[in-house]
Amino acid sequence: MYIPQEQLNNLKKTLSAGKAVVIYGPRRCGKTTLIKKFLENCKKPYLFVNGEDIDVQQYLSSQSIIKLKNFVGENKLLVIDEAQKIPNIGLNLKLIVDNIKEIKIIATGSSAFDLVSTLGEPLT
């Protein structure tokens, strides 16, 4: 799938420490492809996970700051594909942003309704 440079530039420009960027749209529209293309040029350590993975769900649905910090580790970028599959994802992303210095987060989801309603409050 072709990803226009403009989309990559917009993502790079929007992404900043202490913030979460949410990318949502219908299945197979290129969200994961966009992220993978973006990560090809990422020079900082990152963690790419899929919200459909049961182990990822268990870690990222935990409201323990210690568990969340251990999960993220030394990574500076956390990328969560299919984030809407993770219980309490909005609250836990907020915990990560509020408690892990310099972390950047990208979350994707195939359902705007599910992801936005699950996120709850703004993550800024």
Answer yes or no: is 10 within a domain: no
Judged against a pLDDT cut of 50, whether residue 32 lies above it is answered with yes
Q: Residue 61 carries which side chain, given as an amino acid letter?
A: S
Judged against a pLDDT cut of 60, whether residue 121 lies above it is answered with no
Query: What residues make up the domain containing 24?
Result: 15-119
Per-residue model confidence as pLDDT tens digits over 59-68: 999 989 999 9
Answer yes or no: is 7 within a domain: no
What average pLDDT does the segment 6-35 reach? 85
Answer yes or no: is 105 within a domain: yes
In whole angstroms, what is the distance from residue 88 CA to residue 93 CA?
9
The CATH number covering residue 52 comes to 3.40.50.300
Judged against a pLDDT cut of 60, whether residue 4 lies above it is answered with yes
Q: Domain total for the chain?
A: 1
Answer yes or no: is 112 within a domain: yes
Both tokens of residue 13? 């420009």
Answer yes or no: is 6 within a domain: no
Answer yes or no: is 50 within a domain: yes
Torsion sign (Cα): 101, 13, 6, 111: positive
Burial class (CB in 10 A: 0-12, 13-18, 19+), 69: middle
